[in-house]
Structure 1
Amino acid sequence: MSRKINKVAVLGSGVMGSRIACHFANIGCEVLLLDIVPRELNEKEAKSGLTLEDKIVRNRIVNDSLKFALTSNPSPIYRKSFASRITTGNFDDDMSKIADCDWTIEVVIERLDIKKSVFEQVEKYRKPGTLITSNTSGIPIHLMTEGRSDDFKANFFGTHFFNPPRYLQLLEIIPTPHTSQEALDFMMDYGRRFLGKKTVLCKDTPAFIANRIGVYSIMSLFHTVQEMGLSVEAVDKLTGPVLGRPKSATFRTCDVVGLDTLVLVANGVRENCPDDEANDAFQLPEYITKMVENKWLGSKTKQGFYKKVKGENGKSEILSLDLNTLEYKAQEKVKFPTLEMAKPIDDLKQRIKMLFMGMDKAGEFYRKTSAGLFAYVSNRIPEISDDLYKIDDAMRAGFGWELGPFELWDTVGLEQGLKLIGDASKEVAQWVKDMQAKGITSFYKTEKGKRYYYDVTSGDYAIIPGTEDMVLLDVLREENTVWKNADSTIVHLGDGILNLEFHTKMNTIGGGVIEGINKAIDLAENEYKGLVISNTGQNFSAGANVGMIFMMAVEQDYDELDFAVRSFQNTMMRIRYSKVPVVVAPHNMALGGGCEMSMHADKVVAHAELYMGLVEFGVGLIPGGGGSKEFAQRLSQELKDGDIRINRLRQRFLTIGQAQVSTSAYEAFDLGYLREGTDEVVVSRDYQLARAKEACEALINKGYTPPKQERDITVLGSEGLGIVYVGANSMLSGNYISEHDSLISEKLGFVLCGGDLSEMTQVSPQYLLDLERKAFLELCKERKTLERLESLVKSGKILRN
């Protein structure tokens, strides 16, 4: 059967339903979003003389829910116009429309009787062979199919999206005994490729995989915290980014999710999994019980483990909860010798080894909590999953862990993990002992560019399913590295295509990265066929190394600074005019120099979650790596007569002047960072590099020739400068910007307009680059620019002076 998903029905428009609908709209599907009809008029409707039969009333619940979702922050939609792909309605009037849908998703209240009632209606109207799924997180999936037809059962399973669906990668797929293998295989692939999800096949067990392991980890930690006498802020310091976990760490995450939600899942596991050897871990500590009784549930009740208050000076202050007294107190400075020693280590796996060696309370905490986690996940196979990689996938995609439990265990070492388990008087699963007896010492291995996991069923390694057609840098790096320095690595992806990755802090761009780019182009031009620039960091690049710029500017080493900026510009131009195609694949943050690098590529294959922008204005500068030149060049292609060209100039100017950053790759097109018809967007991060490689090969196969160096970039000269200066002066007079902002504006306008030319003139890229570099250096000599640079370097904060 050939399946395609063009139209989707989402039944239930609450927090999850409306956001699931938005994500389907994001990927181009038509969406039918339905909810119940109100039982009574609200005050506004009554005053307007409406009745319960009016359509505006009957669709009020669904329309209000969708409106709330679309105005929420962060936005669930890639581009505002995509919301037009969603049509709303109600169960009573519009259920018949699901006959046109390829997939119907139920997202109603967590009550089995209501869900079964909805599915009874669905069966009346759905087209045979179409998919039906439930987004439940607590009700056994198989119970929902009672009384349904064979065709319904064959095409029904659970699809558990994590909230918010746009941003969290995990999609758990839960079949019933009746689900057809064909429908299941389709969904596993569709979720990966089209929805951009990490699709994880789960068994129909309480809390499935991610919540079962994640909530165990949190509940176990709740007990450990009391035993060790650790504070809330200390635990969040220990379980945040230093361990490869989100900034919200543990207690802050609980506040965001809601303590009531966490308790609901924990109680569900405790009641429904009596044979779980760690069942006692799901018993609520007394302080959690009291917090729930007090309705200290987190963000939704404005207090939980943390509470925001106004201090005596009127400034906001975040207090933390003392778990012994249940009183809020000022947060204490958290310091552990182990954390101080590990802090300088950028490589996560090396840092974790250091953390586990710590002889202070921090080291004890890591060993104690990990012992329980290692034992617990080993005993969940085969209960919740037959395969260990699924547990790691679920925790990385659902809870934001950089390393899943088994990957963490591999980092610590199998033998060391077993020792920790023994020291903690825990019991490991027999299959781990059997694996050890065979002389196998790791849960994963890489071989010939593929990643393998230990398959418990066969007792041997097997390739991770679904990765066969992915291009995995982490795997290829071991055997295919062609060249590297301290800041960058060049890897052969195969078929003559190289990849350059950089791995500085925040993937900032300094001398080592510039050297890597030039070396990669040299190699590609002489020995290979093409180049992709991508990396596996959390962000593509936070831009140029501001600390380096600040040091050279403070020391007034302007010749060195001029050389550095010129080298950056020349390197961007090498990307533009190299003899081989260069494809850039940015993801997450691509700011400043990361944005400029993308703008000079032959093609950009962007991940949908792309926060791209030229943000130099905020530190008192203008884009100096070709970004200002590039905007002038793109403006040249848009210039028309009269008001239109002035509006185009104003639009380009404000994009840089306001340091506008896209909230998605699609918005990067709207802001002019990406090019319609040339650049493209992929939703799947897992397949982004494979697509970038394909795009590079396609350019080669078409007979790639380098672009011709332009000599005819049209600039507006004094006509445009007049508009810039008047605008900056007006903003200054109205106290909307500072004097320094006005100066930066004038410098930026000078470059975009090609200088003080008497009329519209055609110039070369180099002419604009020279203007750009001159303005950049002049601004580096300004005291207020130095103050802004210093603020960012020392505190990470943008200073407005």
Structure 2
Amino acid sequence: MSNLIIRKVAVLGAGVMGAQIAAHLVNAKVPVLLFDLPAKEGPKNGIVLKAIDNLRKLSPAPFGVKDDAQFIQPANYDDDIAKLAECDVVIEAIAERMDWKHDLYRKVSPHLAPHAVFASNTSGLSITELSQGFSDELKARFCGVHFFNPPRYMHLVELIPTTHTRPDILDQLETFLTSVVGKGVVRAKDTPNFIANRVGIFSILATIAEAAKFGLRYDEVDDLTGSRLGRAKSATFRTADVVGLDTMAHVIKTMQDNLADDPFFPVYETPAVLAELVKKGALGQKSGAGFYRKDGKTIKVLDPQAGDYVESGAKADELVGRILKRPPAERLKLLRESDHKQAQFLWAIFRDVFHYIAVHLESIADNARDLDFAVRWGFGWNEGPFEGWQTAGWKQVAEWVRDDIAAGKALSNAPLPAWVFDGAVAEKGGVHTAEGSWSPAAKRFAPRSSLAVYDKQVFRAPLAGEAGRDPKTYGKTLFENDGLRAWVDDRAGENDVVIVSFRSKMNTMGPALLDSLVQAIELAEQDYKGVVIWQPTSLKLGTPGGPFSAGANLEEALPAFMKGGAKGIEPFVQKFQQTMLRVKYANVPVVTAVSGIALGGGCELMLQSAKRVAHVESYVGLVEVGVGLLPAGGGLKEAALRAAEAASAVGASASDLLRFLQKSFENAATAKVSGSALEARTMGYLKPSDTIVFNVFELLDVAKKEARALSAAGYRPPLRGAQVPVAGRSAISTIKAQLVNLRDGRLISEHDYLIASRIAETICGGDVEAGSMVDEAWLLTLERRAFIELLGTQKTQERIMGMLQTGKPVRN
């Protein structure tokens, strides 16, 4: 397969999806041209320029770093259409109107490069019908590439071919989307709304229908169908508001227009409440009102009977909440047998989806795996619907669904397909097996894709019932305990790097774990090329990955505090510092593979590793001020060292050192956390030479390769004992003067002032002349002393106890 070299991408349409697709491509360092119609007034690119400006304001942020908006090149069809010839991929993302899309295709197709891949981001229109009128040669380069909103955060991209699309183009696009853009690619059949929207929107419609049947409020339904079911917190009606009620109505209309023969067709009727909201212009989050409306700080929910909004807050009954915590088989049995209307509602929506996916699997997806991943990645479910069915007991659940169909309780009288009860699926107890996932059309269990890009995924996305590698047990264990597991990938050619995976809550680090980390480094120094610190929790989808580490384990330090007060903690702080130095000065490279949160001590562990490999969705920061402390594991020490190095590189004088420290001081004093790995680089937590990966499933493989590369290049740790200049007392005075203004203006509290002052004193090297030469030990002593002093104050103790009890910072 020849390489698909993508030098530039054009996105046609600067609406909500087009602009955000362009933004995420820029995150991945792909040059982008963003097209729209020429503005009738003002600059010709006014529509696109406004869209780019709006991207900077959106939350959640489409860019990893807001300033990267400058890299989207605005374009319009009058002046810039010839620039399409420079693009290797062109993605159309205009409104969901077949006639509008065809008009645009006629305009742009003569200008496409002869090798360019042309794709539509349609959410449900027929890709084959969209390609009508193309030459055979262009048809072979055309397909659907359906991103989900918001494109930066949603893992799913559906790849939809027509019968004419060249297979090699699909393979190249899947490779690019998987590795460069960081997505989970599912190949969908060219049927209305493809896979995720077809099942997901049906699930929402079924939920609306069953909620009305059982007389449940919208906020009550959302509490029942969100995180309690392992689904997105936005659940059902809030998700509809986020997606946009007009968008949802359009997707439903696509089903109405194209699925007249579907046995579930009556369910596709637009709910009256949805139609009324759209008619009023209450389109959800983007218009300020939908199923929910925010009045000041109060969230209100629509009461359709009253036709007005009322205060929200209806919850799941405690009994139903307890049922939902039971194992899968017991949970469904109890829901089905309960007389409680919430329980009956929940069983009904499970049954409706199981019924629907069984009836439609063959027509909409190649196999059950693609359907489950599409729903998981596109709608934020922790498990796909087939997974949920299988783990609850395939045969029993199938019989319950069949009984409900016979009793007229289901939303359709369509029978379950024969393969549900007979043959291989029944024999294996479900659709997911060691051989693969069930394909009704092929009448076999289809294996995973063998594309070379997946060789980089040591652990592919897990699926219940499959015999995939388990990251908690895979490989050869060198040693393990309650704190961590040290292991190697024992495949030939992969067994030369020690992998350390923490096992503590939130991957926090207590004394025993620190000892084990040192033990793993010592093992690596004897027999291996390096160490990679990587957490299996990176693979959990429904979250951005992680946590890498939430830092030092304060709970483990409490007994020492109770016994000896603040001074009783000092041995633990000293151990933490010494362990971080052991990481930094190991005789083999220690590479941190970061995903999710790396906070406090987790950030300090990163800072002192030989190299960092970070998933793009990594949220990094020194956040100790939240519990009334300062970083004392070498985080401020590293900031001082890096400032001295940066100043030296440009020949700055000692009196100018503060300029190189200011950002690090502000980051620590305000507990700022990066919004991405890209922003962590601008904050100084990642170096320009560190690697950022976009697919979390490639994180471990890349980190191992980086460790090997360092080893192959003759890796040596930094020389110890170096002395560096510090900013000293003059810089401390400058910072404190700024802090006084903030304190006196009541922008920070007296205790905030004290903490920030101690951070300033530490990061500037203490009460010495500007330019004084100090070593690491000096800076670590400053960190440790300030930490112990703050720990001894009542207000810091209040902050720590508040955080341990509520998980939220105390402001005092």
TM-score by shorter chain over 0.5: yes
Map of 1:800 onto structure 2:
811
Between the aligned partners of 2:166 and 2:722, the Cα distance in structure 1 is 62
Map of 2:668 onto structure 1:
656
**Are positions 1:616 and 2:624 aligned together?**
yes
Shift of 1:187: 0.7
C-alpha spacing 1:438/1:404, structure 2 compared with 1 (3 Å)? closer
Map of 1:26 onto structure 2:
27
> Does the Cα contact within 8 Å between 2:11 and 2:93 map onto a contact in 1?
yes
Deviations 1:757-788 (A, max 9, x none): 34533333233223212211221222222333
**Are positions 1:129 and 2:115 aligned together?**
yes
Deviations 1:660-708 (A, max 9, x none): 222221221111111122x111122222221112112222333333443
Between the aligned partners of 2:512 and 2:255, the Cα distance in structure 1 is 51
C-alpha spacing 1:97/1:331, structure 2 compared with 1 (3 Å)? closer
Between the aligned partners of 1:329 and 1:203, the Cα distance in structure 2 is 42
**Are positions 1:322 and 2:303 aligned together?**
yes
Moved more, 264-273 or 545-554: 545-554
Structure 1 residue corresponding to 2:351, chosen from 354, 371, 391: 371
Map of 2:597 onto structure 1:
589
Shift of 1:442: 4.0
Shift of 1:796: 3.5
Between the aligned partners of 1:437 and 1:672, the Cα distance in structure 2 is 53
Between the aligned partners of 1:249 and 1:633, the Cα distance in structure 2 is 47
**Are positions 1:752 and 2:760 aligned together?**
no
> Does the Cα contact within 8 Å between 2:3 and 2:172 map onto a contact in 1?
no
Identity %: 35
> Does the Cα contact within 8 Å between 2:726 and 2:764 map onto a contact in 1?
yes
Map of 2:475 onto structure 1:
480
Structure 1 unaligned segments of length 5 or more: list them: 46-55, 311-315
Q: TM-score, normalised by structure 2?
A: 0.88
Shift of 1:207: 0.6
C-alpha spacing 1:328/1:784, structure 2 compared with 1 (3 Å)? same
- Give 1:669-708 correspondences, 5 Å limit: 669-677=681-689, 679-708=690-719
- Give 1:386-397 correspondences, 5 Å limit: 386-397=366-377
Structure 2 residue corresponding to 1:453, chosen from 396, 418, 437: 437
State the SS of the aligned residue for 1:628. helix
State the SS of the aligned residue for 2:248. helix
> Does the Cα contact within 8 Å between 1:485 and 1:512 map onto a contact in 2?
no
Between the aligned partners of 2:76 and 2:645, the Cα distance in structure 1 is 48
**Structure 2 counterpart of 1:744, which letter?**
I
C-alpha spacing 1:524/1:716, structure 2 compared with 1 (3 Å)? same
Shift of 1:156: 0.9
Between the aligned partners of 2:131 and 2:300, the Cα distance in structure 1 is 48
C-alpha spacing 1:665/1:479, structure 2 compared with 1 (3 Å)? closer
Map of 2:532 onto structure 1:
532
Deviations 1:719-763 (A, max 9, x none): 332223333223323333221111001111221122223453333
Between the aligned partners of 2:396 and 2:387, the Cα distance in structure 1 is 14
> Does the Cα contact within 8 Å between 2:654 and 2:770 map onto a contact in 1?
no
**Are positions 1:500 and 2:500 aligned together?**
yes
**Structure 1 counterpart of 2:372, which letter?**
D
Shift of 1:142: 1.2
C-alpha spacing 1:261/1:595, structure 2 compared with 1 (3 Å)? same
Map of 1:568 onto structure 2:
576
> Does the Cα contact within 8 Å between 1:368 and 1:424 map onto a contact in 2?
no
Map of 2:363 onto structure 1:
383
Structure 2 residue corresponding to 1:417, chosen from 391, 397, 400: 397
Shift of 1:464: 4.5
Structure 2 residue corresponding to 1:633, chosen from 616, 641, 655: 641
C-alpha spacing 1:367/1:724, structure 2 compared with 1 (3 Å)? same
Between the aligned partners of 1:563 and 1:269, the Cα distance in structure 2 is 66
Shift of 1:505: 4.5
Shift of 1:179: 1.0
Map of 1:313 onto structure 2:
none
**Are positions 1:224 and 2:206 aligned together?**
no
C-alpha spacing 1:108/1:319, structure 2 compared with 1 (3 Å)? closer
Structure 2 residue corresponding to 1:470, chosen from 437, 457, 461: 457
- Give 1:268-279 correspondences, 5 Å limit: 268-279=254-265
Between the aligned partners of 1:472 and 1:491, the Cα distance in structure 2 is 15
**Are positions 1:264 and 2:244 aligned together?**
no
Shift of 1:508: 3.9
**Structure 2 counterpart of 1:714, which letter?**
P
Shift of 1:571: 2.8
Moved more, 87-96 or 76-85: 76-85
**Structure 2 counterpart of 1:715, which letter?**
V
State the SS of the aligned residue for 1:403. coil
Shift of 1:596: 1.4
Map of 1:179 onto structure 2:
165
Shift of 1:333: 5.6
Map of 2:428 onto structure 1:
440
C-alpha spacing 1:104/1:262, structure 2 compared with 1 (3 Å)? same
**Are positions 1:431 and 2:419 aligned together?**
yes
Moved more, 721-730 or 538-547: 538-547
> Does the Cα contact within 8 Å between 1:287 and 1:326 map onto a contact in 2?
no
Between the aligned partners of 1:277 and 1:484, the Cα distance in structure 2 is 54
Deviations 1:78-103 (A, max 9, x none): 23443333222211121111112111
> Does the Cα contact within 8 Å between 2:567 and 2:788 map onto a contact in 1?
no
> Does the Cα contact within 8 Å between 2:395 and 2:426 map onto a contact in 1?
no
Shift of 1:254: 1.4
Deviations 1:701-720 (A, max 9, x none): 33333443333243233233
> Does the Cα contact within 8 Å between 2:12 and 2:35 map onto a contact in 1?
yes
State the SS of the aligned residue for 2:298. strand
**Structure 1 counterpart of 2:673, which letter?**
V
Deviations 1:299-346 (A, max 9, x none): 233222222224xxxxx2212333554443333463544565489x8x
Between the aligned partners of 1:649 and 1:623, the Cα distance in structure 2 is 15
C-alpha spacing 1:102/1:339, structure 2 compared with 1 (3 Å)? same
Shift of 1:186: 0.8
Between the aligned partners of 2:242 and 2:5, the Cα distance in structure 1 is 36
Deviations 1:245-277 (A, max 9, x none): 222122211121122222221232133112333
Between the aligned partners of 1:683 and 1:469, the Cα distance in structure 2 is 12
C-alpha spacing 1:231/1:480, structure 2 compared with 1 (3 Å)? farther
> Does the Cα contact within 8 Å between 2:644 and 2:657 map onto a contact in 1?
no
**Are positions 1:646 and 2:658 aligned together?**
yes
**Structure 2 counterpart of 1:712, which letter?**
Q
Map of 2:137 onto structure 1:
151
Between the aligned partners of 1:332 and 1:77, the Cα distance in structure 2 is 33
> Does the Cα contact within 8 Å between 1:596 and 1:627 map onto a contact in 2?
yes
Moved more, 454-463 or 720-729: 454-463
Between the aligned partners of 1:305 and 1:370, the Cα distance in structure 2 is 23
Map of 1:3 onto structure 2:
4
C-alpha spacing 1:187/1:599, structure 2 compared with 1 (3 Å)? same
C-alpha spacing 1:185/1:309, structure 2 compared with 1 (3 Å)? same
C-alpha spacing 1:724/1:411, structure 2 compared with 1 (3 Å)? same
**Structure 2 counterpart of 1:382, which letter?**
E
Between the aligned partners of 1:523 and 1:242, the Cα distance in structure 2 is 43
> Does the Cα contact within 8 Å between 1:214 and 1:399 map onto a contact in 2?
yes
**Structure 2 counterpart of 1:703, which letter?**
G
Between the aligned partners of 1:424 and 1:519, the Cα distance in structure 2 is 58
